[in-house]
Amino acid sequence: MKSISQKIVLLSFFLLIFVQANAQRFPKPEFESGYEQPSPTTPEPRSNALEYLDVLILLASLSLASWLVIKRRSRRGVLWLSIFTLLYFGFYREGCICSVGSIQNITLALFDPAYKVSITVLIFFLLPLVFALFFGRTFCAGACPLGAIQDILVFRPVSLPVWVRKTLGFIPYLYLGLAVLYAATGTDFIICRYDPFVGFFRMDGPYTMIIIGIALLLLALFFARPYCRVFCPYGVLLNWMSRFSKYHMTITPAECISCKLCEPSCPFDAIEIPVSEKVRTQKVLRQNLKRFSLYALLIPVWMFIGGYAVSSSHVLLSKAHQDVYLSELLIAHPELKSDTKNLDIKAFLESGKTFDELVANASLIRAKFKTGGWFLGGFLGLVIGIMIMNQFVFRTKTIYEPHKGDCFSCGRCMDYCPVVKLK
Amino acid sequence: MAEEKIIKRREFINTGVRFALGISLAGIGVAAARKATTEKWVWQIDPAKCTQCGRCATDCVKSPSAVKCIHAYEVCGYCDLCGGYFKPGVKKMETGGENHLCPTAAIQRKFIEEPYFEYVIIEELCIGCAKCVKGCSSFGNGSLHLQIRHDLCDNCNECAIARVCPSDAISRVPASQPYIIKGDFHGGSKA
């Protein structure tokens, strides 16, 4: 008995020495041959001044785009500007820094007390929105590299039925909501991770995203700007701002003569055609008002259903978080707790954290998803409710106008207008 | 007359909503500006936390990875039998390819004086697989370790390897001190 305990003491003594010596097992030798020790090279990152240059270039291209579209009325100018944007923010800056992704940085900054957001990212988030509030979505026309790469590929755009467009128009809201939820919980930046075109800008990337990117660019030949219209989460915010913008691009420089020439010119189906007065009989109006009020009253119901549905699926949504994934895996398969072949488990074991700490953190994150799910679902319910309600809104329209929310201000329609402004 | 009234009402609503949107934008701006910093931040690996899992070589958006092995000479023991250079269990300490631990032969071994050798990383060849880091940390001083090279890194909004790093070793550091190199150096902070 005694010898065993002695052995243990001896062993632990050696172990202690070993741990102590671990820091520097072999001391640095004293060289006699006059050897000079080199130091590792440390190339500097891109300088901060160049980041401010990016902000200036964004400001310049936004101003130029707004001027070209509203004052100068030049489609050609917008085209050249978007090519410049594609080259600078796309291929030179390799798609990063971008306003679309900045949504997530701002969200994380608002929710994570430890996260600091760079001032340039904040400006990249705000500036296009402020411009949209005054001049419409000129960002989409001339300052967004993702828009530019699709816009130059518009070849033979087809027009989709209204109901298809409206249904697809829901996806950006879902994407925006999920991006905010995942950023707020510190899980993932899904907009950046699933950016389909950044792989082209970098000439490098995961092959799945490259294939999706190629597919979207091929689609863009016939369905103009697919990413902007069906996915872009930043487009949702720009849409809201642009709807109430102070100025906006107009199709005609003077008075619209309703000649219909511009009708097929928009590849994005963003031109609203005049609504005939004949359908607006008193009976139809009254019926519409009734339906409108009914669906307006139903909005809280959609919000509740949405909130309940998304919040109930918080278990599924939270799986994307590393800690939740790992603790779920270890609870389902306790035998894996000592599996050193699994990298995540091995690193977890080496980190010195206990299993209980991991589970506690995971359930905290899951609770965040549960609360966040109510907000996300409520938001989506609100969007669906307003979309349905808007089916019964009719506005008198006598002239051809771009839809202020959907119009990218690309300026194609301007070239189709035969009206000339007399000085 | 009625038309004019409708137009006026629409304009009024438009202006009202525009102001509301403007104010909410300003609100978000101010709330975020309180957390804003003028300093630039870059991604870096903390060598003390790294567990040499090998994902740096496979998960960076760049190929080959922007992560390279660097040699912190200050903590190197200049061993003859280098755990980062030689495969475990080599019979002779010769520089033949069959003895290399590095899959791309990116480590150069130079004789200095008996019995010391200098090991230099050829960065163009290094893929950031961390095999040598593992060898050096298990048998030696741990002077070989991974760092994100800022001439290669795109400084993505969300670092693809930080997301998959099992030991949370990758985080943002101020661009004024962009490297975490073991030992005492001017280029980085001490680890």
DSSP-derived secondary structure letter, A67 = I
Query: A211 lies in which domain range?
Result: 52-263
Q: Which residues of B8-17 are buried (b: 16+ CB within 10 A; e: fewer)?
A: eeeeeeeeee
Residue B166 and residue A244: Cβ atoms within 8 Å?
no
Q: Is B151 on the interface with A (CB under 8 A)?
A: yes
What pLDDT digit, counting tens, does each position of B51-84 carry? 898 999 999 988 899 999 999 998 999 999 999 9
Please tell me whether residues A374 and A257 are part of one structural domain: no
CA distance B188 to chain A (A): 8
For residue A129, give the nearest of B25, B61, B62 by CB distance. B25
Answer whether A144's CB lies under 8 Å from A100's CB. yes
Read off the amino acid at residue A240.
Answer: W
Please tell me whether residues B15 and B50 are part of one structural domain: no
Angle ∠(A391,A395,A400) on CA atoms, nearest 5: 110
Please tell me whether residues B32 and B45 are part of one structural domain: no
Please tell me whether residues A251 and A288 are part of one structural domain: no
At A395, list the tokens.
Answer: 């506005």
Q: Is residue A17 part of a domain?
A: no
Q: How far apart are CA B187 and CA B191, in angstroms?
A: 12
Please tell me whether residues B81 and B8 are part of one structural domain: no
Helix (H, G, I), strand (E, B) or coil at B112: strand
Q: How far is CA A342 from CA A158, A348, A376, B166, in A?
A: 50, 10, 34, 10
Number of folded domains in chain B? 2
Per-residue pLDDT of chain A (423 residues; tens, 9 = 90+): 445 555 555 555 445 444 444 457 888 888 888 888 888 889 999 998 999 999 999 999 999 999 999 999 999 999 999 999 999 999 999 988 899 999 999 999 999 998 989 999 999 999 999 999 999 999 999 999 999 999 999 999 999 999 999 999 999 999 999 999 999 999 999 999 999 999 999 998 888 999 999 999 999 999 999 999 999 999 999 999 999 999 999 999 999 999 999 999 999 999 998 877 666 678 888 888 899 999 999 999 999 999 999 999 999 999 999 999 999 999 999 988 888 888 888 888 877 888 999 999 999 999 999 999 999 999 999 999 999 998 888 777 889 999 999 999 999 999 999 998 886
Q: Search chain B and give the residue with CA nearest A104.
A: B157
Please tell me whether residues A176 and A73 are part of one structural domain: yes
Residue A346 and residue B188: Cβ atoms within 8 Å?
no
Count Cβ atoms within 10 A of the Cβ of residue B125 and give its class: 0-12 exposed, 13-18 middle, 19 or more buried. middle
Please tell me whether residues B32 and B123 are part of one structural domain: no
The pLDDT-based confidence of B183 (bands split at 50, 70, 90) is confident
Please tell me whether residues A250 and A311 are part of one structural domain: no
Please tell me whether residues A198 and A74 are part of one structural domain: yes
Q: Is residue A400 part of a domain?
A: no
Please tell me whether residues B14 and B88 are part of one structural domain: no
Please tell me whether residues B17 and B82 are part of one structural domain: no
Number of folded domains in chain A? 2
For residue A133, give the nearest of B22, B156, B187 by CB distance. B22
Please tell me whether residues B67 and B140 are part of one structural domain: yes
Q: Which of B34, B40, B49 to mutate to test the interface with A (most CBs of A within 10 A)?
A: B40
Q: How far is CA A200 from CA A79, A98, A213, A337, B98, in A?
A: 20, 15, 8, 41, 39
For residue B175, give the nearest of A29, A35, A45 by CB distance. A45
Please tell me whether residues B105 and B30 are part of one structural domain: no
Q: Is residue A248 part of a domain?
A: yes
Q: Is residue A240 part of a domain?
A: yes
Looking at the DSSP bridge assignments, the partners of residue B174 are B41
ipTM of the complex in this document: 0.89
Q: Is residue A36 part of a domain?
A: no
Which H or E run includes A78?
A: helix A75-85
CA distance B137 to chain A (A): 9
Collect contacts of A57-63 with beta carbons under 8 A, ≥24 apart.
A57/A88, A57/A89, A58/A89, A58/A99, A58/A123, A58/A124, A58/A127, A58/A128, A58/A143, A59/A127, A61/A85, A61/A142, A61/A143, A62/A127, A62/A128, A62/A131, A62/A138, A62/A139, A62/A142, A62/A143
Query: For the whole model, what pTM was predicted?
Result: 0.91
Looking at the DSSP bridge assignments, the partners of residue B109 are B119
Please tell me whether residues B167 and B137 are part of one structural domain: yes
Please tell me whether residues A256 and A367 are part of one structural domain: no
Q: Search chain A and give the residue with CA nearest B41.
A: A118
Please tell me whether residues A296 and A231 are part of one structural domain: no
Please tell me whether residues B46 and B31 are part of one structural domain: no
Q: Search chain A and give the residue with CA nearest B147.
A: A42
Query: B6 lies in which domain range?
Result: 1-36
Q: Which of A204, A232, A263 is the last residue of a domain?
A: A263
Q: Is residue A70 part of a domain?
A: yes
Q: Which of A205, A238, A263 is the last residue of a domain?
A: A263
Q: Which of A263, A292, A315 is the last residue of a domain?
A: A263
Please tell me whether residues A221 and A306 are part of one structural domain: no
Helix (H, G, I), strand (E, B) or coil at B107: strand
At A243, list the tokens.
Answer: 């709807």
Q: Give A-chain residues touching B163 at CB under 8 angstroms.
A: 188, 193, 322
Kindly report the length of chain B: 191
Please tell me whether residues A304 and A214 are part of one structural domain: no
Q: Is residue A409 part of a domain?
A: no
Please tell me whether residues A296 and A202 are part of one structural domain: no
Q: Is B84 on the interface with A (CB under 8 A)?
A: no
Q: Give A-chain residues touching B35 at CB under 8 angstroms.
A: 109-110, 115-117
For residue A126, give the nearest of B25, B41, B49 by CB distance. B25
Q: Which residues contact A70 (CB under 8 A, 6 or more apart)?
A: A135, A138, A247, A248, A249
Residue A204 and residue B63: Cβ atoms within 8 Å?
yes
Kindly report the length of chain A: 423
Indicate the pairing of strand B107-113 with strand B188-190. Answer: unpaired
Helix, strand, coil percent values for chain A (each to nearest 5): 65, 0, 30
Helix (H, G, I), strand (E, B) or coil at B136: helix
Please tell me whether residues A287 and A255 are part of one structural domain: no
Please tell me whether residues B107 and B144 are part of one structural domain: yes
Please tell me whether residues A157 and A292 are part of one structural domain: no
For residue A343, give the nearest of B18, B150, B166 by CB distance. B166
